[in-house]
Amino acid sequence: MMHDEITGVVLAGGQGRRMGGKDKGLLDFSGQTLIEHVLQVLSPQVNGFIINANRNQQRYATYGQVISDSISDFAGPLAGMLAAMEYVDTRYILSVPCDSPFLPEDLVERMWNELNKHHASIAVAHDGNRLQPVFAMIDTQLQDSLRNYLLSGERKIDLWFKQQNMITVDFSDSPDTFININRPEELNAEAHRHQELRP
């Protein structure tokens, strides 16, 4: 499925503190980097994609266009979303993290359908237990609102979302697709599970 109005954004701009400072998107996972797993599922669903990274930009550039945060000091996922909104020429971005190798293959379709059904500005995935805020479809016309929010010193993603016309999208039928890799032990455990899920 391809939507001309949606650009995918892979968020790889974090510091990886819980991973000992390693750049998570470039870690090996079942013979490929984590970001390769993400892009394999994301890229067929969108018009194009960009990668938000604040280090190792040359390595990430081997996968596609790379942009860095326009707000300094590793301001979190909202900063990556803002940088993407400022860069793209599509009406919407669809953000995903670089460390979620089990990305849903129907993520964009379901988010897009609910966004349009409810005439919302932001659609955010919900796994049945909690919000998954970095899996979000966002109207790029909100970039001024987001920039002002970040420049005020705020960083909480849920709070900014709640200030907008936001809807949640129910993915309770596939909650495991939102598993992300934060720690070394999780990398090993999920790589083993990934091997078992392979056909």
Q: Domain spans of the chain?
A: 6-197
**Nearest alpha-carbon partner for 93 in 132, 131, 122:** 122
Which residues of the chain are modeled with pLDDT < 70?
1-2, 15-21, 74, 182-199
CA distances for 193 relative to 21, 185, 186, 196, angstroms: 24, 13, 10, 5
pLDDT at 75: 74
The domain 6-197 is placed in CATH, from the list 3.20.20.150, 3.40.140.10, 3.90.550.10, 3.30.479.30, at 3.90.550.10
pLDDT at 181: 81
Under a CB-based contact definition with an 8 Å cutoff, are residues 177 and 160 in contact? no
134-168 pLDDT, tens digit per residue, is 999 999 999 999 999 999 999 999 999 999 999 99
Q: How far is CA 16 from the centre of its chain?
A: 15
pTM score, whole prediction? 0.91
pLDDT at 1: 46
